[in-house]
Amino acid sequence: MNIYAYILRRLLYVIPVILGVCAIIFLIFNVVAPDPALIILGKHATVEQIVEIREQLGLNRSLWLQYFDIVKSAFTFDFGRSWSTKQEIIQMIKAGAIPSATLSFPAFFVSTVLGISISLLVAFYRGSVFDKITVVGCVTSMSVSSLAYILFGQWFFAYKLGWFEISGYDYGFPYFIPYILLPAIIWVMLSVGPDVRFYRTIMLDEIYQDYIRTARAKGLSERVILFKHVLKNTMIPIITYVVIQIPFLILGALLLESFFSIPGLGSITLNAINSSDFPVIRAMTVLSAVAYIIFSVITDVLYTLVDPRVRLS
Cα-to-chain-centroid distance, residue 151: 22
Q: Examine residue 174 and say whether the peptide bond preceding it is cis (omega within 30 degrees of 0).
A: yes
Residue 80's pLDDT is what? 83
Residue 16's pLDDT is what? 87
Residue 111's pLDDT is what? 92
The reported pTM is: 0.80
Burial 90-105 (b: 16+ CB within 10 A, else e): bebbeebebbbebbbe
User: Which residue type occupies 81?
Assistant: R
User: Are the CB atoms for 310 and 243 separated by under 8 Å?
Assistant: no
60-73 pLDDT, tens digit each: 777 788 888 888 88
CATH for 89-276 is 1.10.3720.10
Q: One digit per residue, pLDDT tens: the chain, 313 residues?
A: 567 777 788 778 888 888 888 888 888 877 766 667 776 666 677 777 777 777 777 777 777 888 888 888 888 888 888 888 888 889 988 888 888 888 888 999 999 999 988 988 888 888 888 888 988 888 888 888 888 888 899 899 888 888 888 888 888 788 888 889 999 999 998 888 889 988 888 888 888 888 888 888 888 777 788 877 788 788 888 888 888 888 777 666 778 888 888 888 888 888 888 877 888 888 888 888 888 888 888 887 777 776 666 565 5
User: Are the CB atoms for 227 and 144 separated by under 8 Å?
Assistant: no
Radius of gyration for the chain, computed over Cα atoms and rounded to the nearest angstrom = 24
7-55 pLDDT, tens digit each: 788 778 888 888 888 888 888 877 766 667 776 666 677 777 777 777 7
Distances, alpha carbon 149 to alpha carbons 18, 118, 190, 259, in Å:
37, 21, 8, 11
CA-based torsion, 204, 210, 212, 213: positive or negative: positive
Domain ranges of the chain: 3-76, 89-276
Strand partners, 81: 88
Give long-range contacts, CB 8 A cutoff, 24+ apart: 155-163: 157/182, 158/182
